[in-house]
Amino acid sequence: MAGEIEQVCLLTGSDQPDVLANAVSDDAPSSRPKAAEPKSVREARFAAQSWPALQDSNNPVYSLAREFEDIFPEKIPAELPAERGVRHEIDLVPGSKYCVTRQWPLPRDQVQAIDDFFEDSCKAGHVRESISPHSSPTFCVKKATGGWCIVHVFNKLNGTTIPAQTPIPRKDMVLDTMSGSVIYSAIDLTDGFYQILMRESDIPLTAVSTPSGMLWEWLVMPQGLKNAPATFNRMVSHVLRPLRAFAPSYFDDIFVHSRAEDGLSAVDVHLLHLRKGFEKMRENELYANLKKCVFCAPEIPVFGCYVSKSGVRADPEKISSIGSWPTPKNQAELRQWLGLANYLHKYTKDYAGLIQPMSSLLKKDVAWNWRPEHQDAFDAVN
């Protein structure tokens, strides 16, 4: 049973389970906002990342990665994470009272799934029994692949939490740091939320109830807490600060980039950079998902585009999707297409001017009347 259970904790939504369940998706990001690649590209890339694939392709990283095989586990160790100098903190708005939402009853199979989940989490040291005055409910959402997603409703707690002011890296600055390099790797960290300890005084705030009458509290940062992505980003930035010149990070992504230096080839320099990154990960007990990593490549996907020694280029699959879109027949379809086409604004000269005729159709109380000038603008972007 435990192998079929995973946790998904929601940031917003109604307290009612049927409404919350509709917001849960298997494709929902687990740790931070990310511009995803098209599914076909993502699946093909993930399928290629395995130990046999790295060896068979003569990837120069293979021997080094095998040396650090412990940072690429199939499953992260069931234990408390290391102390890395950053803990998740929950600061409440002054005057806030107890954050309590009543637990509702659930079917027997869901109750058992929740109990199994917390027993496993307790053995791992991630939760402990609680006597906190705070309480957020728990329920289940059926996974498309079978089994259950365990969901905590932290709505009231999040509503009284002061937003963190931790700076989020600017995507353009991350891309700028990679200019001039010729070889790249992308490392995807695994289960970022459960790799950070909670501040001791805030543990009672994380208390969650179960339909069987238990109250648990989290010793590690669970998914769904306000400011959790910012805390994770702060921890990764803190750990990798000495390597930021060649290994910038963005939430759970680490981008390693290199060029030839001091008489060494670009590949040799890159392997040295990767070794330093792997050593930091091992030292701080950070783990990566091998199948989601790319190593020693001339080009890698970053923020929905592709980065190489030639610079940044648009994703051809996204361009194809935009170009194959049928002519909009109403405001809703136009708004949907413009949302997709906005991806091109960085790559298209005078993009705002091109779409201006169509944008006027989205004004309030403007009747839909698709005219030749609108079609011309649509074709110009396509």
Mean pLDDT of 165-194: 90
The band of 4, judged by pLDDT with boundaries at 50, 70 and 90, is very low
Distance between CA atoms of residues 87 and 225, nearest Å: 13
Mean pLDDT of 66-72: 97
**In this structure, what are the phi and psi dihedrals at residue 53, rounded to the nearest 5 degrees?**
-65, -40
Q: How far apart are the first and last CA of the chain?
A: 49
pLDDT digits (tens, 9 = 90+) for 324-338: 999 999 999 999 999
The string over 163-195, giving b where at least 16 C-beta atoms fall within 10 Å of a residue's C-beta and e elsewhere, is ebeeeebeeeebbebbeebbbbbbbbbbbbbbb
Residue-level pLDDT at 39:
53
CATH number for the segment(s) 2-307: 3.10.10.10
CA angle 191, 92, 136 (to 5 degrees): 60
pLDDT band at 44 (very low <50, low <70, confident <90, very high): low
Residue 230's SS3 state is helix
d(CA 257, CA 185): 6
Residue 45 has pLDDT above 90, yes or no: no
Q: What is the pTM of this model?
A: 0.79
Distance CA 44, CA 46 (A): 6
| CA 17 to chain centroid | 24
Q: Where along the chain do its domains lie? A: 2-307, 316-381
Instruction: Give tens-digit pLDDT for 149-176.
Output: 899 999 999 999 999 988 888 999 999 9
Structure tokens at 270: 């890159």
Residue in 104, 322, 295, 76 with CA at minimum distance from that of residue 213: 104
Is the CB of residue 197 less than 8 Å from the CB of residue 221? yes
Q: Give 106-144 pLDDT, tens digit per residue.
A: 999 999 999 999 999 999 999 999 999 999 999 999 988
Pure H helices in the chain: 17-23, 39-48, 51-56, 62-67, 108-123, 155-159, 171-177, 228-240, 266-283, 316-323, 331-341, 351-359, 372-381
Report the range of poorest mean pLDDT among 85-94, 212-221, 349-358: 349-358
Distance CA 296, CA 273 (A): 11
Q: State yes or no: pLDDT of 34 exceeds 50.
A: no
CA distances from 217 to 24, 118, 202, 206 (A): 23, 10, 10, 5
Cα angle for residues 300, 74, 220 (degrees, 5° grid): 95
222: which residues sit within 8 A by CB, 6+ positions away? 7, 9, 152, 193, 194, 206, 228
| Mean pLDDT, rounded, for 144-151 | 88
Tell the burial category of 115 from Cβ atoms under 10 Å away from its Cβ (0-12, 13-18, 19+).
Answer: middle
User: At 257, is the pLDDT very low, low, confident or very high (cuts 50, 70, 90)?
Assistant: very high
Place of tokens 């413009």: 338
